Amino acid sequence: MYDFIRMILSFVFVLGVLVFIHELGHYLAARWRGVHVDVFSIGFGKPLYSWHDKVGTEWRICPIPLGGYVRPHGFADPEDVSEEERATYIEGKTFHGKDVGSRAIVIAAGPIFNFLLAIILYFGLFVTVGKHSLGEPIAQSVVADSAAAKAGIQPKDTIVKIGDINNPGVENLVLYAQQHPDLSTTISVKRDGKEVVLPITIGSKENNGKKVGQLGVQLAINIIAGKPMSVGGAAVAAVQETWNVSKKTIIGLGQMITGQRSAKDLGGPIKIAQLSGQVSKGGFADLVNFMALLSISLGLINLFPIPVLDGGRLVFYAFEAIFRRPVPKSIQERAFQVGFALILLLFAFSMYNDVTQLSWFRWLTGHSN
């Protein structure tokens, strides 16, 4: 019960901070570009608590902690608004009354603030506890009759090479195996201070009609503790880490799309909640690192060129800036419908992945090990 409560509290804290910073980006950019903001909401549903600030913005705390939103004044297209509503507009303060550059800045500010948050979080970690790094993967357990077992890999072996890849790390090791089913190669391990070279034929299994390689070994992550860095060094390292994580995230998503990596790795709210609870056990530093990773993911996802997301609106604004006219209303409406359907499908798929990984579901379907 204590673990469940910690998981929920960690999830609400992590998601609440990320959403607040994202929406704060939209809010501050709107204020900068002279757009009045009607509502700033954290969460969805009927407000639990709300108040108005001195400039008239309504701030809301709502019970469903799965997002939030900022509603700029006059955000709806003018032709979609009644004359009575347009009559209530504050002159010069509407979103659609601004030039396309200002509108783009307001929309882009949300994802940008997510990247800035990641940089700040990494900076705080690096300047206080240092930059931790992942060491070589260690075999925690070996599946009987698997490729690893047949090769002679033993628990506590440190894997230092596979094929022609030195120091592969956990991610590259798993990816190499997935991409090379039934390949005969060698794998080098450190055992009792000595390096041992073992011949191995990578195993395989069917995944959506495609062969995927597997080693049959559960890996432990060897974390190498760092040392506190100088302010300047931490600032540079924080920017580099945000850039590197962004690249890896994009590459990982591309590998899911092309089938190089299983789409089952894609998680939704349940998985995020579980991971929030798990990392909170490791202490505040681990939770902060996890928040930085999620903040980068949130920023990237919102930049996808899907119309209901910030990235889709930016595509429309780019068209408007280039051709000096907005995208036709009929095309925008159809694009938003398709985009909304894609988001629903993505959410449903991630939720399916989450549920099928739960122990009780695997027990009900007879897949419990």
Q: Are 202 and 183 in contact (CB under 8 A)?
A: yes
- Please tell me which residue in 23, 85, 136, 333 is annotated as part of the active site: 23
Residue 261's pLDDT is 59
Q: Which one is predicted more confidently, 198 or 273?
A: 198
Q: Which one is predicted more confidently, 250 or 347?
A: 250
- Active site (annotated) includes residue 83: no
* Mean pLDDT, residues 118-126: 94
Residue-range domains of the chain with CATH: 2-33+98-129+290-363 (no CATH), 134-224 (2.30.42.10)
Residue 316's pLDDT is 92
CA distance 369 to 361: 12
Residue 243's pLDDT is 94
This prediction has a pTM of: 0.75
* Mean pLDDT, residues 259-288: 60
Q: Which one is predicted more confidently, 163 or 272?
A: 163
Q: For residue 47, is pLDDT > 50?
A: yes
Would you place residue 271 in the very low, low, confident or very high pLDDT band (cuts 50, 70, 90)?
Answer: low
Residue 361's pLDDT is 37
Residue 339's pLDDT is 79
Would you place residue 110 in the very low, low, confident or very high pLDDT band (cuts 50, 70, 90)?
Answer: very high
